[in-house]
Amino acid sequence: MEHLAFKVKSLKDTLAKLDAAGTRPAAGATPTQAFVLAPNGVKVQLVEDTALATPVASYEMLMKVSSAADAAAWYEKWFGARITRQGQSTVAEIPGMNIRFAETKEPVAGTQGRAINHIGLEVKNRASTVTWTTPTTPYSRCGQPNRTAATTAATTVHARPPGRSSRSRVSR
């Protein structure tokens, strides 16, 4: 993952609060967009949207992948993402936070052991997302072992999108 992005109602007010806490925007900020580094080193994009009903809202994450088409297809198949093109970018639109894919020829670093260890996606119907081969060996539909019991109300499914060495996490 390259960075997280949040929409803010007032970029000026948000940056003033961050400045008071000792966080300053990176070079290149504009009146409607800025990047800051969170204390844990995560790059955060702030995009002003004066129409927001709240001071801040989730927006998107930028994920570096070896194939934007393969990654987008995976999120579309398993989570019902609506795939769109925004300029040169492929975007998986998922309610709550979009995923923008950036192709890279560099090795893709996983998330395990990093500041952002995984992402969580809420699903409405766990049964349509998860299938078990036996009551003691749960599997996600994409074939990765689940590490929780099949009988729990909240299920975590560890699954690998194409080209990723880390695990995504789906919770219900």
146-163: pLDDT as tens digits: 444 333 344 444 455 555
pLDDT at residue 79, as a whole number: 83
Strands 33-37 and 130-134: unpaired
pLDDT at residue 123, as a whole number: 67
Low-confidence ranges of the chain (pLDDT < 50): 132-158, 164-172
All structural domains of the chain, each given as residue ranges with its CATH number in brackets, are 1-108 (3.10.180.10), 113-172 (no CATH)
Q: Give the SS3 label for residue 121.
A: strand
pLDDT at residue 97, as a whole number: 85
Question: How many Å is the maximal CA-CA distance in the chain?
Answer: 56
pTM of the model: 0.65
pLDDT at residue 96, as a whole number: 83
User: How many angstroms separate the Cα of 164 from the Cα of each of 22, 86, 159?
Assistant: 35, 23, 10
Strands 82-86 and 98-103: unpaired
pLDDT at residue 19, as a whole number: 94
